[in-house]
Amino acid sequence: MTTSSVDARVGTPSQKPLADKVEDGGHIVPPTDFGFLPVPKRLCYDPDKPFHFGLFLNTSFGFASTFIVANLYYCQPLLIELSKSFDVTYDEVALIATFLQAGYATGLILISPLGDLVRRRQLVLLLVFASTTLTIGLAIIPNLRAFEAICFLIGVVNVTPQVLMPLAADLVAPERRGSAIAMVLSGLMLGVLIARVLAGVIGNFNTWHIVYYMAIGVQCFVLVGAYFILPDYPAKNRDLTYFKIMFSMAKYAVTEPLVIQAALINMASSACFTAFWVTLTFLLGGPPYYYSTLDIGLFGLVGMLGVLVGPFIGRLIDRLIPWYATLVATFLLLAFQAVQTAAGGINVWAVVVVCFGLDVARQMQQVSLTTAVLSISAAARARLNAILILSLFIGQVIGSSVGTEVFVRHGWRACALLMLALYGFQLAMLLSRGPHCPRTRWLGWAGGFEARKSVVKAWEMHGGGTEVHQTDSAPQAENKMEQGLIDQTAT
């Protein structure tokens, strides 16, 4: 058995193969964090007693993502107050959000792949500690330039959710992977929404400094919780270096058909979703609605209800081949966008329905895409997840800029039609590769049309499947290759 093949088994229900690798390599997982901080005994790694990834731990991952990702969005409702406090123009203070997002993109590229190289418990503790410490600077700093520099650094270290999501996929049983990812993703999206609400309310009745003092307290809570809850597992890929990890991530991004397909769909969907929410303010603030800022803000609560449906969506995805879940979600996105195109500027109830529907369908699409991509390799989940999140981030930038430009120049219906076309593009991209298309094939269909995971698994167990599919787990693919059951010429 090769080192890479054993690495691929990290996160499967049986942890014994990983323990053998630790012993063979003469590497013992130390019972301390950073060489001096003792790990609680019940959280220490024991290959004979795998840590149970249940609802409590999964929910904890979700709430940690909520409180951490909120750091990127506290500033948005506070920009006017910040401009007054620093005595600068709106154009200058608007750069704060840009620095946060630029830092976040940097962290996605340079830090989140470390989840495939180092002990993730230590990485999470270090990132949360760094974010908490830097937030102290935001609360007390009197200079705009220093404030912007700290914002950039906070963005860099604010990638904890992108470490927790692949970790959840590693720890949970394969049949519950969709639910686990959906829980973490729901927490992340909830953080985006709740940060704006909390910062807006607190900033309206008190100074903006209080928002960041609150953020410090919340992050301290996450830090303590992570210390007492997060299980310790050995590092993966100890035979690789940081530069090899980065090179392999770039290789996945340009040579893996499933990754490229998912990234393009994710980018286009993120652009549509962002454009909708950015231009919604213009739509509701103008004719025929003329709503106040407070009224417009309440539409975010409708989106929050959609986020709360996420964990239930994960249970559905667990029963389906991920491709079919993506297909259903994309059709729903297309249908809700059609409602927006037809009646968004005519009837407010159409807008309410679209707000809820787009949130639900977008979550379903992202969870199913993530589940499919993370199944490619257990040893590379942090890198694969980083590629997907980067595609999402690029889509957000495109959606906010292009959506605003089209809306301002041509109106709400033209913007809605553009988004409708982009959803059609996503559907075409998905249909270019079938539900059981082999990983190495760029286009085409193979392996039938079965949608249920249980049927596919039963079929494979009875010897019906001899080809590696995108739905195969890493151990399944490895066993097939080792037993010589793959016809290389067929792929």
Radius of gyration of the chain (CA): 23
Tell which wins on pLDDT, 482 or 408.
408
Residue 115: closest CA among 53, 46, 62, 170: 170
What is the spatial distance between Cα 58 and Cα 441, in angstroms, rounded to a whole number?
34
Whether residue 288 has a cis bond before it, omega within 30° of 0: yes
303 domain-assigned: yes
CA angle 26, 226, 196 (to 5 degrees): 140
pLDDT category, 227, cuts 50, 70, 90? very high
Which residues is 32 bridged to in the sheet? 38
This prediction has a pTM of 0.79
291 and 151 in one domain? Answer: no
Query: At residue 426, does pLDDT exceed 70?
Result: yes
Query: DSSP for 468-491?
Result: -BTT--HHHHHHHHHTT---GGG-
- Greater pLDDT, 28 or 109: 109
Q: Express each pLDDT in 316-362 by its tens digit.
A: 777 778 888 899 999 999 999 999 899 888 888 888 888 888 888 88
Same domain, 406 and 417: yes
Task: Find the mean pLDDT for residues 219-230.
Answer: 93
Q: Is residue 44 part of a domain?
A: no
Whether residue 317 contacts residue 364, with contact meaning beta carbons closer than 8 Å, is answered with yes
- Angle formed by the axes of helices 322-343 and 257-285, to 10°? 20
For residue 114, being part of any structural domain is answered with yes
Dump the DSSP string for 365-408.
HHHHHHHHHHTS-GGGHHHHHHHHHHHHHHHHHHHHHHHHHHHH
In this structure, the answer to whether residues 60 and 197 fall within a common structural domain is yes
Model confidence pLDDT, tens digit, residues 440-460: 888 888 777 776 666 666 666
Question: Residue 420's pLDDT is what?
Answer: 93
Are 188 and 209 part of one and the same domain? yes
Report residue 141 CA to chain centroid gap. Answer: 31
Does residue 261 sit in helix, strand or coil?
helix
Q: Are residues 280 and 354 in the same domain?
A: yes
Q: Are residues 263 and 397 in the same domain?
A: yes
- pLDDT digit string (tens) for 269-293? 999 988 888 788 788 878 888 877 6
The candidate with the shortest Cα–Cα distance to 439, out of 407, 410, 405, 467, is: 467
210 in the same domain as 75 = yes
Residues 247 and 161 in one domain: no
Residue-range definition of the domain harbouring residue 190? 53-238
State both tokens at 145: 């330039």
How far apart (Å, rounded) are the C-alpha atoms in residues 190 and 265?
A: 22
- In angstroms, the CA 232 to CA 23 distance is 17
Same domain, 115 and 198: yes
Helix (H, G, I), strand (E, B) or coil at 438: strand
Q: Which helix (H) or strand (E) segment is 272 a member of?
A: helix 257-285
**Domain edge (last residue) among 238, 262, 286:** 238
The dihedral of CA 153, 158, 162, 167: what is its sign?
A: positive
Strand 37-38 and strand 32-33: pairing? Answer: antiparallel
Residues 344 and 256 both lie in one domain = yes
pLDDT per position as a tens digit, 366-402: 888 998 898 888 888 899 999 998 998 899 888 888 8
